[in-house]
Amino acid sequence: MQSLSPLDGRYRSQTEALRPYFSEAALFRARLYVEVEYLIALSDLPEVRALPKLSIKQRKALRLIIEKFTEKNAEEIRAIEKKTRHDVKAMEYFLKEKAGKIPGLKKHLEFIHFALTSEDVNNLAYGVLIQGALKEIIRPAIKEVIKDLLKLARQCKGKRMLSFTHGQPATPTTVEKEILVFVERLTYQYDLLIASQGMKGKFGGAVGNYSAHRAAYPEVAWEVFGRKFVKSLGFKSSLQYTTQINPHDDIAEISHLVFRIDTILINLCRDLWMYISRGVFKQKTVAGEVGSSTMPHKVNPIDFENAEGNLGLANALFDHFATKLPISRLQRDLSDSTVQRNIGVAFGYHLLAISSLRKGLGKISLDPAVLKSELAAHPEVRAEAIQTVLRKHGIAGAYEKLKALTRGAKVTDCDLDTFIDSLPIPAGEKKQLKS
């Protein structure tokens, strides 16, 4: 009840799946993972003679620190940070304390965080977490929405519906096609998200040129080592030229992709809201639920409204990530640090919105009677087909004739059929137009 953010309070259960990727404890653990793997990789360099090649037992013991990382460990790191006022340094001290208990490592502890800048660790840690969340949570959730829409489209197959352009009755369409419009749009962006380069790892020291590494071991091909190390963590590629930080173009790319997906979903939520308002879709009633505190009859489309609101919150952050994070003064400024801490918040609102949207999709069903009554109430929408057939037969002023008959007027099917009977076209064409 005391949570500042609803993601950690009211909506905690719906965003729980993201905690292993975006909680502070998850970030601590990811940093430790990078440091441990770096120490192991460093020990494999024959030129680094002061650090013997770690044994299988030593490697396993180091990796167990990560595997058995607990909330208590995270609190220990936080306690150290209160003294250091530096998060990565606190993690380094924690790891040194743990590694010092492993036989044979106590005299080699200074090789933990050797020649690194904090951002060598931070960017790789964030990259590991973001890639994991995309693979395990975000992309599968988007895929499920697409599946839900395909299922809805199949249920609506062959159902004709009055369309609206500019909010006015227009040429009939089918419910299935209108749903498939969103399936196609989402699938295209989803495929781009799958095919994106993902996170790119930065590794290279204080200003990206391995200067400290070279000072200690000039004979090592550090650029080759760096590329190999970054890829060993699961990144597709590493950045060759950087400042102190990853320039965050990777986060910007992902943010833009998710932003577009969210924008399409906002469009979907609003269209479904309108269809429900018209009665095209009915909503299931659930025993015990209340639609309005004063109007007992109400069944409000709250799932789609909640989804729309949370998608907007997510996109406000994704837009900021994409426009702010790639900009850093000279070789580095710290303004990206506090912004990056909110990446999980953006994905949290995104996931929350998808949860609401899918819940709403599961509660709607088509009302064929409303579809028929809407079409019957607007026979004037036949005008497009009639004037196009007249053009086919070369009848001058075809458009203008239909405009004079139907624009702004209330016409009936009988009026249109009478007009068709007066046309100088074959009887078969008249019969087709009347049908």
Q: Describe the crossing of helices 343-361 and 139-155 by its angle, rounded to 10 degrees.
A: 20
Are residues 179 and 110 part of one domain? Answer: no
| Sign of the CA dihedral with 363 first, then 369, 373, and 379 last | positive
The secondary structure of 165-207, three-state, reads ECCEEEEEEEHHHHHHHHHHHHHHHHHHHHHCCCCCECCCCCC
In a domain, 176, yes or no: yes
In a domain, 1, yes or no: no
Q: What is the pLDDT of residues 173-210, one digit of tens each?
A: 999 999 999 999 999 999 999 999 889 999 999 999 99
Say if residues 366 and 281 touch (Cβ distance below 8 Å).
yes
In a domain, 335, yes or no: yes
In a domain, 2, yes or no: no
Are residues 348 and 272 part of one domain? Answer: yes
Last residue of a domain, one of 325, 353, 372: 372
Give the span between the Cα atoms of 172 and 375, in whole angstroms.
8
Are residues 96 and 231 part of one domain? Answer: no
Please give the mean pLDDT across all residues of the chain.
95
In a domain, 24, yes or no: yes
Count: domains in the chain: 3
Are residues 106 and 129 part of one domain? Answer: no
Give the span between the Cα atoms of 266 and 310, in whole angstroms.
9
Which residues form the domain of 99? 12-114
Give the span between the Cα atoms of 129 and 135, in whole angstroms.
10
Last residue of a domain, one of 114, 137, 164: 114
Any idea what the CATH number is for the domain that residue 308 is in? 1.20.200.10
Give the span between the Cα atoms of 47 and 140, in whole angstroms.
44
Say if residues 94 and 80 touch (Cβ distance below 8 Å).
yes
- Our answer to whether residue 292 is catalytic in this structure is yes
- From 166, 293, 297, 435, active-site residue: 166
HSE of 41 in the Cβ direction (CA atoms, 13 Å)? 20
Q: pLDDT value at position 296?
A: 83
Any idea what the CATH number is for the domain that residue 63 is in? 1.10.275.10
- Our answer to whether residue 108 is catalytic in this structure is no
Q: What is the pLDDT of residues 71-109, one digit of tens each?
A: 999 999 999 999 999 999 999 999 999 999 999 999 999
- From 292, 335, 365, 373, active-site residue: 292
Q: pLDDT value at position 289?
A: 79
Are residues 338 and 222 part of one domain? Answer: yes
In a domain, 264, yes or no: yes
Are residues 384 and 365 part of one domain? Answer: no
Closest C-alpha to 181, from 166, 168, 167, 163: 163
In a domain, 283, yes or no: yes
Are residues 49 and 153 part of one domain? Answer: no
What does each of the 435 residues of the chain score in pLDDT, given as a tens digit?
Answer: 788 899 999 999 999 999 999 999 999 999 999 999 999 999 999 999 999 999 999 999 999 999 999 999 999 999 999 999 999 999 999 999 999 999 999 999 999 999 999 999 999 999 999 999 999 999 999 999 999 999 999 999 999 999 999 999 999 999 999 999 999 999 999 999 999 988 999 999 999 999 999 999 999 999 999 999 999 999 988 999 999 999 999 999 999 999 999 999 999 999 999 999 999 999 987 777 777 778 888 788 999 999 999 999 999 999 999 999 999 999 999 999 999 999 999 999 999 999 999 999 999 999 999 999 999 999 999 999 998 999 999 989 988 988 998 999 899 999 999 999 998 999 998 899 888
Are residues 100 and 176 part of one domain? Answer: no
Any idea what the CATH number is for the domain that residue 388 is in? 1.10.40.30
| Residue whose token pair is 């990382």 | 69
Closest C-alpha to 77, from 102, 64, 95: 95
Are residues 388 and 367 part of one domain? Answer: no
Are residues 265 and 313 part of one domain? Answer: yes
Are residues 99 and 160 part of one domain? Answer: no
Are residues 367 and 319 part of one domain? Answer: yes
Give the span between the Cα atoms of 345 and 349, in whole angstroms.
6
Report residue 124 CA to chain centroid gap. 20
Last residue of a domain, one of 63, 96, 114: 114
Measured CA to CA in angstroms, residue 76 lies from 71, 79, 81, 187, 190 at distances of: 9, 5, 9, 44, 40
